[in-house]
């Protein structure tokens, strides 16, 4: 169904962030899919493995579904998106949306001060890397770091960790590889040092 303007009814829907003071781990998706927009819950696509991977990796105390996203702050975790506008795929997102989305996300990181920001998708990481690091040499060094995994920079004291996109359409990673990355995030977060509060995105100490 469409509106009188011939735009999909879900196009103007927006997801609510699941963030609260005191969170230690913030998950960031690229933008909501159509089902997420309609249901009002993050990672709600029927083939998306995000919630199952959280449980299998030991990040949640019991199996969660997308309807349990409201419980993440209770566990010291949160979830948001870089771009608020929902779409069936990321190919329709405009460069300006990434730029504006990063400005909003950076303010969220500065406000809530998570210890770790987990970017859900290597594509997301590559898209915002030029926005996070202004120096070309810093960008080049960061681009050479293996993905998925921890990255050599901090944003307002938050360490950056890149996860594979858990969408069922992601053919670049097997489920075992995805699970390995989520388990690595759990272990890495547990041993991460308390972050320093920096005002801008900076490379980690070399």
DSSP symbol at 108 = H
Residues 6+ apart with CB under 8 A from 177: 164
Give the model's pLDDT for residue 68.
97
How far is residue 155's CA from residue 114's CA, in Å, rounded to a whole number? 10
> Which two tokens mark 206?
């070399």
Q: Which residues of the chain have pLDDT under 70?
A: 1-7, 192-206
Backbone region of residue 72 per phi and psi (left: phi > 0; alpha: psi in -120 to 50; beta: other values):
alpha
Q: pLDDT by residue (tens digit) across 143-190?
A: 788 889 999 889 999 999 999 999 877 778 899 999 999 999 999 888
Give the model's pLDDT for residue 196.
45
* CA dihedral sign of residues 177, 105, 55, 89: negative
Give the model's pLDDT for residue 200.
53
> Which two tokens mark 3?
């509106």
Pairing between β-strand 158-163 and β-strand 149-155 as defined by DSSP bridges: antiparallel
Nearest alpha carbon to residue 83 among 65, 103, 63, 59: 103
Q: Which domains does the chain have, with CATH numbers?
A: 9-75+96-192 (3.40.470.10)
């Amino acid at each position: 169904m469409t509106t009188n303007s011939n735009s999909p009814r879900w196009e103007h829907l927006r997801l609510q962030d699941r963030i609260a003071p005191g969170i230690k781990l913030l998950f960031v998706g690229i933008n909501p899919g159509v089902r997420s927009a309609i249901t009002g819950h993050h990672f709600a696509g029927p083939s998306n493995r995000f919630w199952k991977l959280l449980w299998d990796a030991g990040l949640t105390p019991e199996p969660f579904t997308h309807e349990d996203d409201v419980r993440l702050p209770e566990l010291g975790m949160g979830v948001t998106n870089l771009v608020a506008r929902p779409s069936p795929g990321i190919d329709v997102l405009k460069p300006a949306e990434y730029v504006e989305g990063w400005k909003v996300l950076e303010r969220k990181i500065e406000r809530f001060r998570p210890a770790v920001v987990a970017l859900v998708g290597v594509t997301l990481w590559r898209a915002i890397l030029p926005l996070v690091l202004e120096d070309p040499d810093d960008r080049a060094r960061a681009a050479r770091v293996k993905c998925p995994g921890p990255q050599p920079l901090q944003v307002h004291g938050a360490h950056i960790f890149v996860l594979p996109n858990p969408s069922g359409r992601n053919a670049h990673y097997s489920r075992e590889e995805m699970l390995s990355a989520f388990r690595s995030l759990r272990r890495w977060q547990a041993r991460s040092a308390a972050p320093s509060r920096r005002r801008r995105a900076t490379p980690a100490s070399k």
